Structure 1
Amino acid sequence: MFPAYKIEESTIKNIVKNNITPTDLSKKINLVIYYRSMKTLQLLIRNNDKPKPRHLQQSHIIYEHTCAIEDCGPQKYIGITRTTLSRRLTCHLQNGAIKQHYTTKHKTEVTRNTLEENTKIIDKESDPRRLL
């Protein structure tokens, strides 16, 4: 809250009082101004009843793929995507570092199932500018 909030409150109340009349003249208009803290706002946003998107349908994420072939060791690929994870994994099937790793090191083709099982979401950022 800023120091001049009382002045703005009275200005808004005066505007409503001078320019708005109730349709029923026996009634009176009463303006009540509420303030919410950011903490309260965050709690309200979390009470969303929409179902959470499935793992592969999430976007604006940082993800990690770990090679599950035993002789490989803990080879990991970390990437970011603004599209859905499903779409990004489809791109990895066609070309890129993950496909190159499987073809050069293991002499095998990477499958969609392998990508889905060994890829996890590390973090999610709804603001695309902050994703990097």
Structure 2
Amino acid sequence: MGEAGDGFMGVMPYRYYYDTSAKAPMLEKIRAMRPEYQSTAYTQGFLTAMLFTEAAKRTLDAGKPLDGKNLKAALNSIKDFDTGGLIGVPITIKGNSIPVGRVYRADMKAQKMVAASDWISLDK
């Protein structure tokens, strides 16, 4: 977008790959495995795998079969889940969604999206 994109703002639920403003141990692991820039789509997939693993674990720990109904119930039981900094606050799944985000602003000189707000949670 070049210069015209400077100041563009949008909401993103994930911390950007290059964001080192706060402790993010899971993001540090990703950077160690993949030192080249990874898009937020990569982060989304990584978090999805983390959440599926947690839902499967909860389902199996409850002695229930791994089926869609039980996995959905387990997913929606997740409260205050630590994403290792992929999202900047612990998350609670509500209605199969994660009602958390942060406003970012494009800084075209730095070629980065920079935080323009703190983390916003709509589940409160």
Task: Indicate the TM-score class for this superposition, using the shorter chain for normalisation.
Answer: under 0.3
Structure 1 length-normalised TM: 0.24
Point out the structure with max Rg over C-alpha.
Answer: 1
Question: Which protein is richer in helix relative to its size?
Answer: 1
Structure 2 length-normalised TM: 0.25
